[in-house]
Structure 1
Amino acid sequence: MPDPYIVVLFVVGALIALVAWLPLVFRKVPLSLPIVCVALGAGLFALPGIDFAPLPQRFPEITERLTEFVVIIALMGAGLKIDSIFSFRRWGVTWRLLGITMMLSIAAIFLIGFTVLGLSVAAAVLLAGCLAPTDPVLASDIQVGAPQEGREDIVRFGLTSEAGLNDGLAFPFVHLAIALALAASGVKPDWFTDWLTVNVLWEVFAGLGVGCVIGWVFGWLTFAIPVDSKLAATRDGFIVLAATFISYSVTEMLHCYGFLAVFITALAFRHADRDHDFHVQMHDFIEQIERMTMMVVLVLFGGALASGLLAPLRPIDIAAAFVVVLVVRPLAGLVGFVGWRRPMREKLILAFFGIRGVGSFYYLAYGLNSASFQQGDRLWALVGLICLMSILLHGVSVTPVMRMFDRSQGRDPDRDIDPPAETAGRGAAA
């Protein structure tokens, strides 16, 4: 038998090769890299002799920190690749997705959890907060292209900006669930004022402010100071990693939303010199890290599935999962676009592709680590099933749907760089 260490090196090398090559293969076939990673994880941990079960309940702190890391990396990458200049009018599609679609999704999932699944109020709120936001990690196939690539149509722009900003709305509901759970146990009976002033007002607006400041500082250091000391002259992608870590850590030390701050940091960083080619280098660097860490999480998720993550599910849970994926998000999306003067095909794609994934894992781990909730294993099973369904359904459909959409816009989906048929700004303002 070979040394287990050598076997591990081989497996890791094979996975890295797949991460590098498979996206090229999947450009034309109805399959996605996340599906392959989950399948590999399930197969690997189902092998005879593998007695390690990577269930998130057994490793709550590791689960929280690992998923947290992947999300902040993805948020920085998402912010860097948005070409559209921020304005309230240009980002109209984003406000519809956040203010209407996401709020309706939270309300619907809460009602399903409380009335149909029999969860407590706190657990139903936590489930809604976990499952309402679109995941910035697994949504990469439907996001805009790299900086200056010219692939920023209204659909890709809307889903990218939604995935970047929805944490500012999801996290208050996760904190609301924690506050309700603590109040139910008698730990914090006067929770409402603290939740409203701290978790909603302070943490959201402070997160926005800190993200702007840190993004401006990094933009100035990179592009504005004298030529001989500009950080852009280093051509070192580690700059973007430094911006990510500093933005997130400073914001968290100030007790506000680090996810929101990282995305805003990326937008401000990009705004400092929108057309500089260093943005492309930074994006490519952060994207490689994102894909590697995503691979790790999804392989472990596949291992958790093989180890019995879904065992606590009841028949009613499975039915509810189908409703959440196939009814709640699409219907809430279409309601959010009432009165929006855009083609129906754009509305349908935006409404359908509300991908759930790594962000949902993080929110659930964070909530369960912060307070005591009833039926924690069942919550993990519910979130795991819905994320699995989302990975499979959206992963299989994203390639043919987006290729058809590109052709309808007069673009060749087989080209690496496509001239935009219309800017996201004009589409969002319509």
Structure 2
Amino acid sequence: MVSLLVKEKIYVNEVVLGTAFGVIMGPHCANVFDPRHWGSHTNVITLEVMRVVLATGLFAIGVELPPAYLGHHIKGLLVMIIPTMAFGWVIVAGVILALFPGLNFTSALVIAACLTPTDPIICAAIVGGRFAIRHVPENLRHILAAESAANDGLAYPFLSLAIYLTVESSRGVAIGKWLVIGCLYQVVLGAALGALMGLAFCHLMKLSDRLGFMDRESFVAQSLALSIFTIGVVSTIGSDDLLAAFAAGCAVAWDGDFKSHIEGEVFSTVVDLILNCGCFVYIGAWMPFTLFNSPELGITPWRLVLLLLAVLLLRRIPPLLLLYRWVPEISGWREALFSGHFGPMGVGAVFVSTLALSRLPSPQSPPQSQAEYLAATLQVIVSFIVLGSIVIRTCLRLLLEKENH
């Protein structure tokens, strides 16, 4: 009832509103529901909720990009993604190692991998509103949206390498499995399958439309159905379902025909809004506030705050300031600084951390091994960074708008 006032006048989006409402409804306030006390299925539910929301968001970004966008902008996109993610992964791992002495470097790499992706849901909420249209150039909005979608899927290789190094008996076995499974089977096969399914459905929908079998509303419904179908197929065989969803969205809208059929329709926007709001309500209630001060695990508020500041300052800004000359979509150092600052963490970080937790042993109290210690601290650290990222970027946006007025 007050969405226009809140989003377009106060510049607070559904991400912040959903998270705040989740905190209020969660176990630390009203105690209406508590996702962390749903028994042994808590992590499975969290993982699948994040997976569905991410997949629909990634598919939507692929569809909304200009036709054949990846074909024309692949160079700049790869420069923004691979070296930037690699730099942030190693630097953040080094900071984690320094702040949390109970973790070794491999465990720090696992946590840092969860923080490498830029969240596409928060990205869409920020670069798609009136504020962004007024203040952010179109070329920058497109490249940031594409990067946020692609790097969620490309977080898999960083995570899988660190996980294999943690659980395998030797580095040779770990690196071999990473190359074959983490890179070829998950990333390359996942992207290829997503693109093939997107192209196949694109041709099927064109044929059905020419024969008069398909109405306009069905094109909109296919957007949601195809994203869920893609992650269902690809995740079943164990490949990178998030990258597949983005590839399918780009492929199905490659020539612009699909986008022309759904342009002006609000159903997909409403579905995205409902899923996103529900997801951040879930995240707000899921936040483990009581664990943010766990001295027995080496976790204290001051360490978490220092890590948050280091992540915001070092994860993206330095590499993009160094590399922006090789990104045609970024025209100067100011845009590079904005792009470096623009690295929200949210659903993607929660998803990757939950996925990592599913591959680690259940921790005892106290933890009996490095893998158990990692499992006990992983989501506590990641959830604090996610919460801090949402709060700080909202405050910065409000300050910028106040200055512009």
TM norm structure 2: 0.83
Once residues 78 and 37 of structure 2 are traced to their aligned partners in structure 1, the CA distance between those partners, rounded to angstroms, is: 33
Deviations, residues 20-73 of structure 1 (Å, cap 9, x unaligned): x52563224342322222222222236777375333896111111111111111
Partner amino acid, structure 1, of 2:392 = L
TM-fit CA distance, 1:125: 1.8
Structure 2 counterparts to residues 169-188 of structure 1, below 5 A: 169-183=154-168
TM-fit CA distance, 1:375: 3.8
Q: 1:343 to 1:29 in 2, by over 3 A?
A: farther
Structure 2 counterparts to residues 361-380 of structure 1, below 5 A: 361-372=350-361, 373=371, 374-380=373-379
Instruction: Say if 2:155 is the partner of 1:156.
Output: no
- Residue 389 of structure 2 corresponds to which residue in structure 1? 390
CA contact (8 A) 1:248 1:261 kept: yes
- Residue 197 of structure 2 corresponds to which residue in structure 1? 214
Once residues 129 and 204 of structure 2 are traced to their aligned partners in structure 1, the CA distance between those partners, rounded to angstroms, is: 26
Structure 2 counterparts to residues 28-427 of structure 1, below 5 A: 28-45=9-26, 50=31, 52-55=33-36, 59-118=42-101, 119-143=103-127, 153-183=138-168, 190-225=173-208, 227-235=210-218, 237-274=220-257, 276-280=259-263, 284-305=266-287, 308-312=290-294, 313-314=299-300, 315-338=302-325, 340=327, 342-372=331-361, 373=371, 374-398=373-397, 401=400
Deviations, residues 92-132 of structure 1 (Å, cap 9, x unaligned): 43222102211111111122223432323342122111101
Q: 1:128 to 1:378 in 2, by over 3 A?
A: same
Q: 1:49 to 1:219 in 2, by over 3 A?
A: closer
CA contact (8 A) 1:80 1:279 kept: no
Q: 1:362 to 1:310 in 2, by over 3 A?
A: same
Partner amino acid, structure 2, of 1:173 = F
Once residues 388 and 320 of structure 2 are traced to their aligned partners in structure 1, the CA distance between those partners, rounded to angstroms, is: 18
TM-fit CA distance, 1:339: 5.2
Once residues 266 and 339 of structure 1 are traced to their aligned partners in structure 2, the CA distance between those partners, rounded to angstroms, is: 26
Deviations, residues 232-262 of structure 1 (Å, cap 9, x unaligned): 5454522112211221122223332111111
CA contact (8 A) 1:126 1:174 kept: yes
CA contact (8 A) 2:114 2:353 kept: yes
**SS at 1:271 equivalent:** coil
TM-fit CA distance, 1:352: 0.7
**SS at 2:204 equivalent:** helix
Once residues 338 and 259 of structure 2 are traced to their aligned partners in structure 1, the CA distance between those partners, rounded to angstroms, is: 31
Q: Which runs of 4+ in 1 moved over 6 A?
A: 149-152
Which ranges of structure 1 fall in alignment gaps of 5 or more residues? 1-16, 408-412, 414-430
TM-fit CA distance, 1:366: 0.6
Q: 1:38 to 1:56 in 2, by over 3 A?
A: farther
Deviations, residues 201-232 of structure 1 (Å, cap 9, x unaligned): 22221112111111111111222446234535
TM-fit CA distance, 1:182: 1.7
Q: How many residues align?
A: 382
Partner amino acid, structure 2, of 1:93 = G
Once residues 80 and 401 of structure 2 are traced to their aligned partners in structure 1, the CA distance between those partners, rounded to angstroms, is: 19
CA contact (8 A) 2:185 2:239 kept: yes
RMSD: 3.2
Which segment drifts farther, 118-127 or 88-97?
88-97
TM norm structure 1: 0.79
Q: 1:152 to 1:243 in 2, by over 3 A?
A: farther
CA contact (8 A) 1:81 1:144 kept: no
